[in-house]
Amino acid sequence: MSLTRVSTATLKKLCLLGSLILTTAACAPRHDSAGLDPERVSRAVQTATDLRESGYKVWCVPFARDASGIDIRGNANTWWSQASSKGYDRGQEPKVGSVMAFSSTGSLPRGHVAVVSKLISEREILVDHANWAPSQVSLGMYVRDVSDRNDWSAVRLESQPNALGSVYPIQGFISTRGR
């Protein structure tokens, strides 16, 4: 087989692959991802990976702080109360880049925080967070609002493929001013 034939065949495959990617992108549902800095998330993932490889536990708070840029310290269950005094907006509507603050429960005594990575619909989002699975980072985890009033006060997460887990109470979403 000549080099010209290999190059032509490879070029045809690349063109076909490019066409499929463009077609898929054009037909895919639109997800709002404006407001999330992919480099910041990448650095947060790398930091968590480095910690785990060094034998340290990976926690949700430092990951959420690094991935979102929202500079709040302390256990996750203190973030909601700290947010307004530190100049952050609090609300019941998810925004990409905002931090979803979970309430304390028996299974989450210190609360939990996760960064909204995509808006799918009025009642569905994806989040990036750490330590949902022990000392692991979970990216693009599906979350559904299951609150009675559709106000994001209770959610279920897809911890296993095609299976939503328990209901968790949510305090709301923390974001930077103007976001």
The CATH number linked to 83 is 3.90.1720.10
Q: What's the confidence (pLDDT) of residue 58? A: 97
One domain, residues 21 and 49: no
Listed as ranges, residues in the chain with pLDDT below 50 are 1-33
Domain that holds residue 113: 38-175
Please give the pLDDT value at position 162.
87
pTM over 0.85: no
Domain identity same for 144 and 57: yes
**What CA–CA distance (Å, rounded) separates 179 from 174?**
10
How much is the pLDDT for 160? 84
Domain co-membership, 101 together with 136: yes
For residues 149 and 66, membership in a common domain is answered with: yes
**Closest listed residue to residue 169, CA positions, set 154, 179, 159:** 154
Q: Quick one: 3 and 83 in the same domain?
A: no
